[in-house]
């Protein structure tokens, strides 16, 4: 049963859900939330939301009103506690890149692992480009076998596709002092587990940074 209601006052897309999970997890700890959202999140966005809440807090279960199964078929009582999350709180996650002052040395995408849709998007963004920074894209070995064309396009750019592990637990990450991520989960874990500063941005911003482009903090989402 939901213990706290979280109302989100703005529209969200893609990496915004990871930022939301990062903010929400820190606020609610291990409570079970039910989200009141303006839009209907996709499966990958729900994945990002849940993973980030489990990392910044200890959320093991959550509901989204009108989206997740129990929240659709069960008439939950409205929790007494209600939290409002505003756009400015999510912007702080993106803008945190300025606090440490370090330039990302490593760009990572896929925590949790990239889905087929996310691999396709990464391939489209990298097609015909060459990375100028170390760039890792994480997915499952099964998907690399299923979508070899995406993998070929990604690797032709100089980016590395890494299977069945994660930048959070890979000892190779420890060689870098600043890591750019598109994942709220990685954003929460990298500083403590890898000893590196974490910078947050959407996939477009990560690829832009990897290929030598520059974006202002406000353009990272």
How large is the angle between the packed helices 116-126 and 203-210, nearest 10 degrees?
40
pLDDT in tens, 162-178: 999 999 988 888 899 99
Q: Which pLDDT belongs to residue 216?
A: 45
Rounded Cα distance, 213 and 139, in Å: 25
CA nearest to 120, candidates 146, 150, 143: 150
Is 0.85 surpassed by the pTM of this model? yes
Span 126-153, pLDDT tens digits: 999 999 999 999 999 999 999 999 999 9
Cα(141)–Cα(66) distance, integer angstroms: 34
- pLDDT (0 to 100) of residue 171: 83
Per cent of the chain over pLDDT 90 is 84
Residue found by looking up tokens 């403590």 in the block: 192
Distant-in-sequence, close-in-space partners of 116: CB < 8 Å, separation ≥ 6: 143, 146, 147, 150
Taking the C-alpha atoms of residue 200 and residue 184, their distance in angstroms, rounded to an integer, is 8
Distance, C-alpha 214 to centroid of its chain: 20
pLDDT tens for 7-21 read: 998 999 999 999 999
Q: Tell me the pLDDT band of 102, cut-offs 50, 70 and 90.
A: confident
Mean pLDDT of 59-81: 93
Q: Average pLDDT of the chain?
A: 93
What share of the chain in percent tops pLDDT 70? 94
pLDDT, average across residues 49-61: 97
pLDDT value, residue 83: 97
Supply the pLDDT for residue 217.
Answer: 43
Q: Which domains does the chain have, with CATH numbers?
A: 4-95 (no CATH), 98-219 (3.30.499.10)
């Amino acid at each position: 049963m939901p213990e706290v209601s979280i109302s989100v006052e703005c529209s969200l897309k893609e990496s915004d859900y990871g930022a939301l999970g990062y903010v929400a997890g820190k606020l609610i700890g291990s409570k079970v939330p039910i989200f009141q959202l303006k839009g209907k999140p996709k499966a990958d966005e729900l994945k990002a939301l849940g993973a980030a809440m489990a990392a910044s807090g200890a959320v093991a279960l959550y509901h989204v009103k009108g989206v997740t199964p129990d929240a659709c078929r069960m008439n939950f009582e409205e929790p007494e506690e209600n939290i409002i999350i505003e756009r400015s709180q999510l912007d702080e996650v993106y803008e945190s890149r300025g606090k440490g002052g370090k330039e990302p040395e490593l760009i990572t995408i896929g925590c949790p692992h990239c889905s087929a849709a996310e691999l396709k998007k990464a391939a489209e963004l990298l097609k015909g480009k060459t990375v100028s920074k170390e760039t890792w894209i994480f997915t499952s070995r099964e998907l690399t076998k299923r979508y070899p064309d995406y993998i070929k396009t990604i690797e032709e750019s100089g980016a590395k596709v890494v299977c069945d592990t994660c930048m959070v637990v890979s000892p190779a990450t420890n060689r870098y002092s600043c890591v750019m991520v598109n994942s709220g989960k990685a954003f929460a874990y990298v500083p403590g587990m890898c000893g590196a500063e974490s910078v947050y941005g959407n996939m477009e911003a990560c690829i832009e940074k990897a290929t030598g482009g520059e974006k202002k903090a406000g353009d990272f989402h």
